[in-house]
Amino acid sequence: MYILKAIGKNFWSTEIWLPPNTTWEDIAPGSRPDVTHADYRDLIWPIPMAFFVLLLRYTLERFWIMPIGKSLGIKSTRSKKAADVPVLERVYEKCNRLNNKMVSSLRKQTDMSERQIQRWWRLRRATDKPTTLVKFCENTWRCIYYTYSFIFGVIVLWDKPWFWDIKQCWYSYPQQSVSNDIWWYYMISMSFYWSLTVTQFIDVKRKDFWQMFVHHMVTLLLMSLSWVCNLHRVGSLVLVVHDCADIFLEAAKLTKYAKYQKLCDFIFAIFTVVWIATRLGFYPRIIYSSSVEAPKILPMFPAYYIFNSLLILLLLLHIVWTYLILKIVVDSLQKGLMSGDIRSSDSEEVSDSSESAANLLNGNLGEPAK
């Protein structure tokens, strides 16, 4: 117990997390009558709130999104089931990727030909894939959330001085009040990521499953640290900037499932423009403020360099992903339509490479640097 206390004391050293001559008591709730400081104990609220988010998602998908999907003619049935072959099933459970060596071994254990084994394997893999309707419901829910989150974020920040002048993020730091609307904006965002951490195990399984799991956990960790360090102003800006493009990303995917190809292409074009405007336009303005303006306004401290380094790294990743997105656009124009999805995989999972950028990188690094 003593060791844990010692580790905790060293980890939460004021020399690391706070500006010079500032202690945790200085930014504790109630320490000043004119400032409402962020309370680290509030970070427990997103966990029970996540269960409400899960309930809301289930209700919307079950009673609204799914009926809409069916009315659009989206398939809700799986492919033909593979025959019951215990030997093949046991091997499949250990490894669902078939190779020549496995085929040769399986032919000796069964009376099936190579062609029959390959056909059984294709049917068995198809059985594991979620139906198009399930994927439609998942992406529609995400589209609804990101739309709400972006609109709510703009409404919350509209009357905040730092929304119009980013330098206001640094004035008087860390003696900055947390208003009720900012509190809700942060807590709801964190509850959404807690819910994603749970539903990731039941949603459509993708190749980047563990990367996304790490993404959600790192996002929650860094959002929590930004809350504790009272860096909620710049954090709220990063949140609202990154939510915008995700709306069109999810909308493009769900129209793809509904077989509205031209609409899908149009929305993806909007997504590309919004992505570039927010990730390479507005976001670099935040980076400029945190890198150039902030050092002129407040004394530097180790936590500042940690958060700012993550912001800069995220910008570099945005540049890389923008290049990949533009490649998709060029390929699509050459083929005359959007080639499938944006984050395709060997198993033909419907997702997006830009989503991988938007979700994996944004959540991992962008939102945190609050």
The per-residue pLDDT string of the chain (370 residues; one tens digit each, 9 = 90 and over) reads: 667 666 767 788 888 899 998 999 999 998 999 999 999 999 999 999 999 999 999 999 999 999 999 999 887 776 667 677 787 777 777 777 777 777 778 777 787 888 888 888 777 777 767 788 988 999 999 999 999 999 999 999 999 999 999 999 999 999 999 999 999 999 999 999 999 888 887 776 666 667 677 777 877 888 898 999 999 999 999 999 989 999 999 999 999 999 998 899 899 999 999 999 999 999 999 999 999 999 999 998 999 898 888 888 888 888 988 998 898 888 877 776 544 444 433 333 333 333 443 333 333 333 333 3
Cα–Cα distance measured from residue 258 to residue 247, given in angstroms and rounded to the nearest whole number: 17
Cα–Cα distance measured from residue 97 to residue 78, given in angstroms and rounded to the nearest whole number: 20
Look at residue 82 in the predicted model and tell me its pLDDT.
67
Look at residue 206 in the predicted model and tell me its pLDDT.
66
Phi, psi angle pair for 35, to nearest 5°: -130, 130
Cβ-proximal residues to 272 (8 Å cutoff; 6+ apart), any chain: 325, 326, 329
Look at residue 110 in the predicted model and tell me its pLDDT.
81
In terms of Cα–Cα distance, which of 181, 299, 173 is closest to 226?
Answer: 173
- pTM for the full predicted model: 0.80
| Cα→Cα distances 29→15, 38, 329, Å | 20, 7, 50
In the chain, how long is the greatest CA-to-CA distance?
Answer: 82
Per the CB < 8 A criterion, the answer to whether 243 and 154 are in contact is no
Structure tokens at 207: 């190749």
In terms of Cα–Cα distance, which of 262, 243, 256, 273 is closest to 340?
Answer: 256
Look at residue 188 in the predicted model and tell me its pLDDT.
96
Look at residue 78 in the predicted model and tell me its pLDDT.
63
Look at residue 270 in the predicted model and tell me its pLDDT.
94
Cα–Cα distance measured from residue 92 to residue 80, given in angstroms and rounded to the nearest whole number: 17
Look at residue 339 in the predicted model and tell me its pLDDT.
46
Look at residue 170 in the predicted model and tell me its pLDDT.
95
Look at residue 79 in the predicted model and tell me its pLDDT.
60
Residue 181 CA to its chain's centroid (Å): 22
Look at residue 261 in the predicted model and tell me its pLDDT.
87
